[in-house]
Amino acid sequence: MNIYHYPTHPLGFYVYAYLRTEGTPYYIGKGKGRRWKHSKRERYQTPSDLSRIIILEHNLTEIGALAIERRMIRWYGRKDIGTGILHNRTDGGDGIAGLKQTPEHIQKRSISRTGKSNGRRTPEFKEQQRIRALARPPASAETNAKKGANRKGKPLSEEHKRNMSLARLGKKYPRNQ
């Protein structure tokens, strides 16, 4: 059992658990990349203390991770069906990573969402944002000068230069930049 802390991420697919303060799990999931710290569901939010997230197994295939997730959920049981302590809503093993949707499915979903809003992108909301932005005073010349002075003349380490170079690999930039 490994405990991962930001910014490290486990390799490959993995199975993770969110722990209560007393150390018992309340959610078990399968993920890849940063999934272990990004759950937005009401019943099992990501713990604010990242030390309460443990990676049970990592460096797995997707099928292996799904099988371990199912086994762990079966072991601890689900609260909703009265068999255990987990808030999971399913028996696990039903996630799909990297699902490629057909253009037809994407088009159907687009048509079904036309005219609908999640409450944040309504014209009224956009107008409120515009008014707030206009009410905010612009930064003074003195503030801008201080920001620029903090960055000027600081040499970059070789490691920093290498990381910046690696981050730009494969990206296309206009020639005038």
pLDDT tens, position by position, 67-93: 999 999 999 999 989 999 998 888 887
For residue 7, the model assigns a pLDDT of 56
Query: What pTM was computed for the model?
Result: 0.53
Give residue for tokens 């799904």: 66
Lookup: tokens for 138: 């612009």
Whether the CA torsion 138, 142, 148, 151 is positive or negative: it is negative
- Phi and psi (nearest 5°) for 74? -65, -40
Mean pLDDT lowest for which of 13-22, 35-44, 58-67, 105-114? 35-44
pLDDT tens, position by position, 23-71: 999 999 888 887 766 655 556 677 878 788 888 998 899 899 999 999 9
Q: What is the CA radius of gyration of the chain?
A: 23
